[in-house]
């Protein structure tokens, strides 16, 4: 009889623990969009350079800021990334600037409840397919 009560208590504790984990996951904000998926997917399978830096509070070890930089080496990657920027342009403040040297800068700033994100795409040339390199930068700043 003790064995059944012990097993029943273990099962009850395990079920409560799983329920708490499921609730914690559903409360977490989902800010991921096409640009995030593009940078994350291509950083693992693409033929490009990828750098990610995490800044933490030294006392609490909480994440303060995350910066991801992906260097694009093919015009087709730049075209795909520019399409993602234009598709996500309605989700925040978007701008597309071109300077005198044909340097394009697409900037998208998205504000969220728990974090702010800044996306930047830079490339040179009238058309990205000319073979010029580019760079995508994603800055994620946590709110307190």
**What CATH number should be reported for the domain holding residue 96?**
3.30.2030
**Which residues, in sequence order, are CB contacts of 46 under 8 Å at separation 6+?**
70, 77
Same domain, 4 and 55: no
Range of the domain at 10: 1-29
**Which residues, in sequence order, are CB contacts of 135 under 8 Å at separation 6+?**
69, 70, 71, 72, 121, 122, 123
Same domain, 119 and 58: yes
Q: How many domains is the chain built from?
A: 2
The pairing of strands 115-124 and 103-111 is antiparallel
- Cβ distance 123 to 102 under 8 Å? no
C-alpha closest to that of 35 among 141, 142, 138: 138
Same domain, 39 and 57: yes
- Sequential pLDDT tens for the chain (144 residues): 777 676 666 777 776 665 544 444 433 444 568 888 888 776 677 667 888 899 999 999 999 999 999 887 766 678 888 888 888 888 899 999 988 888 889 999 999 888 999 999 998 876 555 556 788 899 999 987
Model pTM score? 0.70
Beta bridge partners of 121: 106, 136
């Amino acid at each position: 009889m003790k064995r059944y009560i012990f097993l029943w208590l273990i099962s009850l504790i395990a079920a409560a623990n799983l329920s708490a984990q499921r609730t914690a996951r559903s409360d977490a904000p989902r800010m991921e969009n096409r640009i995030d998926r593009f940078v994350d997917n291509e950083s693992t399978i693409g033929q490009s350079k990828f750098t990610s830096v995490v800044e933490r509070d030294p006392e609490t070890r909480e994440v303060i800021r995350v910066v991801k930089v992906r260097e694009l080496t093919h015009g087709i990657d730049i075209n795909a990334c520019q399409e993602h920027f234009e598709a996500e342009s309605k989700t925040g403040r978007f701008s597309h600037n071109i300077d005198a040297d044909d340097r394009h800068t697409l900037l998208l700033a998205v504000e969220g409840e728990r974090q702010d994100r800044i996306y930047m795409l830079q490339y040179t040339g009238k058309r990205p397919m000319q073979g010029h390199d580019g760079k995508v930068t994603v800055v994620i700043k946590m709110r307190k």
